[in-house]
Amino acid sequence: MIPVEKLASRPDVLMIGLRSFGRGQGGVEAHVERLSEELDQAGYVVEVAVRTPYSGKKATARGRAIRIVPIWSPKGRATEAIIHSLLSVIYAAVRRPRILHVHAIGPSLMIPLARAFGLRVVFTHHGEDYNREKWGRIARTALKLGERFGARWANRRICVSRSLASNLSEKYKVQFRYIPNGVQSAVRINSSEILKKLGLSSGRYVLHVGRVVPEKRQADLISAIEKLDAQDVKLVLVGTPDHESEYSRHVDALASHSSRVTQAGFQSGLALAELYSHAGLFALPSTHEGLPIALLEAMSYSCRVIASDIDANLNLSLPTNCYFPVTSIDALVEKLQHAFFEGNEALVVDWSKYLETFDWREIASKTGEVYEEAAGHRTNETSLFSDQLKIKP
């Protein structure tokens, strides 16, 4: 930690569009944390705007020059993102970052305002949030408008999904550059304290990590585990809901009536590493993803994995036997049966070749190039960043 007051008066990059800062909070939060850490190592001064209901009210510092800035927002599904994004852009207008980096299509509704304030904006599209099952018609319309504003008004655009980047580039006739989420290399660990606490046996549970929201399909996993013949195999659900909802209450009810389901809540650090390291299988039955960080993390721990056959998961180009038809509980049961009965595969899988594309240092280097382009776009002459701030791969 370094004193906040000693950080540079003007940030090179200000990140907005997330609840809090840190892995385990969600895909965007994990993405911003790792990207900020790499940018910090490369010499950029980074500020991250977060929401007070999730972060508290005190600004903190990380690394060499990362400042985490709490900005007030209400806590409510319908209002918190848009109000926080508005206040964050006003904050940016005062702070004058060299680059305002807006994450996700909801906050990108504020990009025209940011441009009106004279800010240089980079927009990262993390996924088609309007396809999430939790949103109603008005929210879906607003999210689609946010996507359109990001395409129209941002100085540069990034997308974490290869197929979606291609589709968006064609749809809006502007470039969405593909720069994926990344994953840190991990080492499987032998300790198992969290397994003892939760009453789990190594190799005899299916692991799922994700927010308890409809598109993650935890209810499908509960239905599938109940149909599995292996009575000793359990399902471990890691994660909590953004807000209590009809779906989260439904998942709670299903889990509470099953002796084979363990709700582990929010986990991070050593406990989460232990759960990945000892899992018999990692399952991701989602109907919607941007680029699935939890799946990449499971692969980094050499877990066996299965995932629904949506584009975001197919973009990883895993072996065909790792996929099953989305929403098909029967197909999911068949995959579980094979993993715990019929399969002779080793419990540990070497995914290193698949993960080469998702190196955070390379991702940060490519993002830095986008910043340089956006910062110099006004005159097409010199960058607002000095040469020593450029990331070297």
DSSP assignment of 122-179, as one string?
A: EEEE---GGGSTT--HHHHHHHHHHHHHHHHH-SEEEES-HHHHHHHHHHHTS--EE-
pLDDT digits (tens, 9 = 90+) for 345-367: 567 899 999 999 899 999 999 99
**Number of structural domains, the chain?**
2
Give the three-class secondary structure for 320.
helix
Q: Is residue 177 part of a domain?
A: yes
pLDDT at 378: 44
Structure tokens at 210: 């994700």
Average pLDDT, the chain: 89
pLDDT at 184: 86
Give the three-class secondary structure for 253.
helix
Give the three-class secondary structure for 13.
strand
pLDDT at 3: 45
Q: How far is CA 43 from CA 30, 33, 368, 372, in A?
A: 20, 15, 11, 14
Q: State how far Cα 282 lies from the chain centre.
A: 17
Q: Using DSSP bridges, classify how beta strands 281-284 and 305-308 pair: parallel, antiparallel or unpaired.
A: parallel
The CA distance from 221 to 306, in Å, is: 12
pLDDT at 21: 86
The CA distance from 152 to 275, in Å, is: 43
pLDDT at 93: 97
Does residue 348 share a domain with residue 210? yes
pLDDT digits (tens, 9 = 90+) for 43-63: 999 999 999 988 888 888 888
Structure tokens at 213: 């929201």
pLDDT for 389 beyond 80: no
pLDDT for 24 beyond 70: no
pLDDT digits (tens, 9 = 90+) for 118-140: 999 999 999 988 887 777 889 89
pLDDT for 179 beyond 60: yes
Which residue did the predictor score with more confidence, 64 or 193?
193
Do residues 210 and 286 make contact, with C-beta atoms less than 8 angstroms apart?
A: yes
Average pLDDT over residues 170-193: 94
Do residues 288 and 132 make contact, with C-beta atoms less than 8 angstroms apart?
A: yes
Q: Using DSSP bridges, classify how beta strands 66-71 and 60-62 pair: parallel, antiparallel or unpaired.
A: antiparallel
pLDDT digits (tens, 9 = 90+) for 82-108: 999 999 999 999 999 999 999 999 999
Q: How far is CA 175 from CA 40, 111, 376, in A?
A: 27, 17, 17
Do residues 348 and 319 make contact, with C-beta atoms less than 8 angstroms apart?
A: no
Give the three-class secondary structure for 97.
coil
pLDDT at 1: 36
CATH code, domain carrying 295: 3.40.50.2000
The CA distance from 334 to 30, in Å, is: 32
Please report, rounded to a whole number, the percentage of residues in the chain having pLDDT higher than 70. Answer: 91
Q: Is residue 84 part of a domain?
A: yes
Does residue 164 share a domain with residue 110? yes
Average pLDDT over residues 288-300: 91
Beta strand spans in the chain (E): 13-16, 46-51, 60-62, 66-71, 99-103, 121-125, 156-159, 177-178, 205-209, 234-238, 261-265, 281-284, 305-308, 323-324
Q: Which residues span the domain enclosing 27? A: 4-182+359-389
Which residue did the predictor score with more confidence, 326 or 231?
326
Does residue 370 share a domain with residue 316? no
The owner of tokens 């655009």 is: 157
Average pLDDT over residues 291-311: 94
pLDDT for 388 beyond 80: no
Q: How far is CA 42 from CA 1, 112, 365, in A?
A: 18, 30, 9
Does residue 280 share a domain with residue 230? yes
pLDDT at 344: 52
Give the model's confidence band at 379: pLDDT under 50 very low, under 70 low, under 90 confident, else very high: very low
Does residue 58 share a domain with residue 136? yes
Q: Is residue 120 part of a domain?
A: yes
Kindly tell me the burial class for residue 17, based on how many C-beta atoms sit within 10 Å of its own C-beta (0-12, 13-18, 19 or more). Answer: buried
Average pLDDT over residues 203-231: 94
Q: Is residue 188 part of a domain?
A: no
Does residue 342 share a domain with residue 366? no
The CA distance from 305 to 328, in Å, is: 17
pLDDT at 78: 67
pLDDT at 185: 86
Which residues are 157's β-sheet partners?
123
Does residue 170 share a domain with residue 315? no
The CA distance from 393 to 366, in Å, is: 9
